[in-house]
Amino acid sequence: MSWLVTGGAGYIGAHVVRAFAAKGIDTVVVDDLSSGRRGFVADGTPFVQGSILDGRLLESTLERYDVRGVVHLAGFKYAGVSVQRPLHTYQQNVTGTSTLLAAMESKDVSRIVFSSSAAVYGTPDVDLVTESTPKHPESPYGESKLIGEWLLADQGRAAGLAHTSLRYFNVVGSGTPEIFDPSPHNLFPLVFDALLDGRTPRINGDDYPTPDGTCVRDYIHVADLAEAHVAAAQRLDAGESIEPVYNLGSGDGVSVGEIMRTVADVTGIEFAPEIAPRRAGDPARIVASGELAARDLDWRMRHTLAEMVRTAWEARRAAA
């Protein structure tokens, strides 16, 4: 028996697959490679190229690989771009999730760990976000992730689906030099690409209502995130009680300005970032408590900010 990882050829998904392997748990990957990379899939891991919108493909994969649970990471993940592409975002993230749940029901697969997002909160009016903080998503991406959580909850009530949703905050770093974040929109890749090209990095906005005017975020290491997925899957496998949602956050806010200074220290490249306009859909601050995840999923911050930057930089340079 195995666990299906949708989006398992992506930056986060590939780390999740490796975390399962470290625990001796077999996985199979479904990915359409729209943003993932075939080379990110670990050797020996079954790989099926295809879309989560293809219900028949999902059903055959669930059956062929005797899947007992799903980690669902596939989807369109760019909050800023989703403002310009709302229909595409809803198709990938809402229709895709619904199609996956239907395939699971048809094959009696009743466990799922869902990749949600801090974007469901929008701009919180509290210093520390908890799972009960009101949800006010400010982009189609955030809205689509909240709808995904609703779909799981409704399917849980209707069909007994055992589920949990993990609300990610800013995921950075690398757990292995072979996997880097190739996103054309995320902060770390944009900064690293600029440095490698001899350009000055740019940041989006310095006029937010924060101490240094730059966005404040909760940065977490991708390897820590991957471990939490495995812990959630094991809890579902064991039939243990589990919360419907967990924040995966550090409880500490780090500004984009602080990130820039840490990048300069780690890389040894001195620079003063250029300031670009704000991106649509970006909240000023979002920092979360990870107390529930610490209680149930052994969640903790195992990496410092400098280690997050260093591992990400080493992986990006290895791919250059």
Active site (catalytic) residues: 141
DSSP assigned state of 285: B
- Identity at 202, one-letter amino acid code: R
Going edge to edge, which strands form the sheet with 162-168? Answer: 47-49, 27-31, 2-6, 67-72, 111-117, 162-168, 245-248
Residue 247 contacts residue 167 (beta carbons within 8 Å) = yes
Which of 36, 46, 34 lies closest to 13 in space, CA to CA?
36
Residue 148 contacts residue 116 (beta carbons within 8 Å) = yes
Q: 12-50: string of b/e by CB count within 10 Å (b at 16+)?
A: bbbbbbbbbeeeebbbbbbbbeebbbeebbbeebbebeb
List the end-to-end C-alpha distance of the chain, in Å, as a whole number.
Answer: 37
Which of 217, 233, 111 lies closest to 162 in space, CA to CA?
111
Residue 132 burial (CB < 10 Å; 0-12/13-18/19+)?
exposed
Q: Which residues contact 86 (CB under 8 A, 6 or more apart)?
A: 140
